[in-house]
Structure 1
Amino acid sequence: MHKSSHDDRGNLVNYYDIMNVPRDADKAAIRSSFCVLIKRYHPDSSGENSLDYRKKAELLIKGYKVLIDDALREEYDRLLFSVQRESPHGFVFLPRKRVKYSISLEGLLKTRLLNKSIRRGERVRKFGQDVEIFITAVEAKKGIIAYVDLPTRVLCPLCTGSDRDCHVCRGVGRIASTTMLQVSLPPPIKDGAKIEFDLLAARPDKLTSFTMKTLRVKVTMIGARGAQ
């Protein structure tokens, strides 16, 4: 893999995190996320020319070139997954296929906005959680890190909601998007455990806010209840 995929310290850059897409994202999802993010951070569209924004835009462009090319992505994935089987703390990275979303959160991710006729609280009480994760006994002893996609609203970086003719947000003042949240569960993890995460405290940055105030996660042990 080319050195451009590593940061100044020689560490491999996680382009999936940079691009805010899951590791199994198809090309359409990668293009869609890239278009949203590059508008937010590129100086030509954001109106912001700070060093942080320029670096973010550069990473987005590099990440897009790697993930959109089948050969480059295959090589990158092989290298990335070989170094990310476990975190520096010994936590195990959970495969995304073992993160299951409730119907309420799935709908929210698809539409980006809540259905006004049905309150999210009522849906959550019905299903008991937003996300259910399935882990093994070994993972329960080591602790796990899971990535959860959550709907977000991004304050328009160009007009900050003050221009109805803004070409970035189309006058809405915010951009509907999704953000991948890293959820860490330290050991020991008990089967059936229910954990609530405060999303107000986990706000990604000053421009971005989650559309939900809390994330409710339920843990199910694989084998304990026949979960797959």
Structure 2
Amino acid sequence: MSTQVDYYELLECERTADATTLKSSYRKLAMKYHPDKNAGCKNSESKFKAVSEAYEVLRDPQKRAAYDRYGHAAFANGGGGGGAQDFGGFSDIFESVFGEFMGGARGGGGRQQQRRGADLRYDMEISLEEAYHGKSTEVTIDVSAQCDTCDGSGARPGTRAKTCQQCNGHGKVRAQQGFFVVERACPVCQGTGEMIADPCPDCRGDGRVDKTKTLSVNVPPGVDEGTRIRLASEGEAGPRGAPAGDLYIFLHVKRHAIFEREGTTLFARAPLSFTTASLGGSIAIPGLDGETHDIKIPAGIQSGKQLRQRGAGMPVLQGRGHGDLVIQVDVETPTKLSLRQKELLEMFRETETGDECPASQGFFAKLKGVFAGE
């Protein structure tokens, strides 16, 4: 196809088309005419070259401005346009546009990014009191750390790594797979672009050695079951000086003898004598904050009733204030009575009218009505 055909016509775009429109149109046409999809068709190959040539000019703002002003004459006599490029050049343009569909195949030609070290996990058990107040502690872990002898390079001190001959230092190798060009990490250097000719005697070229480390951990007030604390760069070191991973401390809160927790709310069950439940009063509950909380008991309280003490619960993690303390009352019926207590209760029963316990009175009245056919 003649290079004198208007580039905008070749790309089926208006002259006012923006860069996104030009790129989209080129993708569609390049996919349509690519030789791998039209094996042996000279016409398709010619069209593919033509649309690639057009896009190579129009994607560059300076070349496009020159073309808009002077047309094809702007690139006559080696003026920097298309026309004289070979098929490999057009393939490069194609790959630059379709790179995201091929896993970033070109990637700027640099070596593969260094492999970061692995993250590590450490499980720590704490008490509910420690979760309330927070704590500072230390943990000891066994980890692959940077080799001090070679400073993580993997090479014997006084020597240096050499460029990998397989990938010429790029860290990647390319392979044609049908319609696509695929890049993979170099199997010889594992993507580093370098080879260790004289490895460090301590780490044997890996840049890492096994060490035992003791680390300080700050547990903030208000943590809960499963809270995760991140210690940046305290995980395994990356190979040959690559960045280290992170260490994650996972917290597990031990079951408490009295309190149960739901978010920032603390729950406790308190048995209550039937006399206090009847007459009212107060009970003293020691809190996790070290204070004693007096819970007022209203007269006539029933089992299962919950009483709330504002601000006596768990602290808000990384915030202000506290949750609440909720006490659930369980009225206890006495099982061991002295003779005098029994006499007093008999005297009380003789004075009962039924109004003292309206729920019981209502139930038996309803029961009587059912069986009486009312």
TM-score (structure 1 length as normaliser): 0.31
Query: Normalized per residue, which structure has more helix?
Result: 1
Larger radius of gyration: 2
Structure with greater contact order relative to length (CA < 8 Å, sep ≥ 6):
1
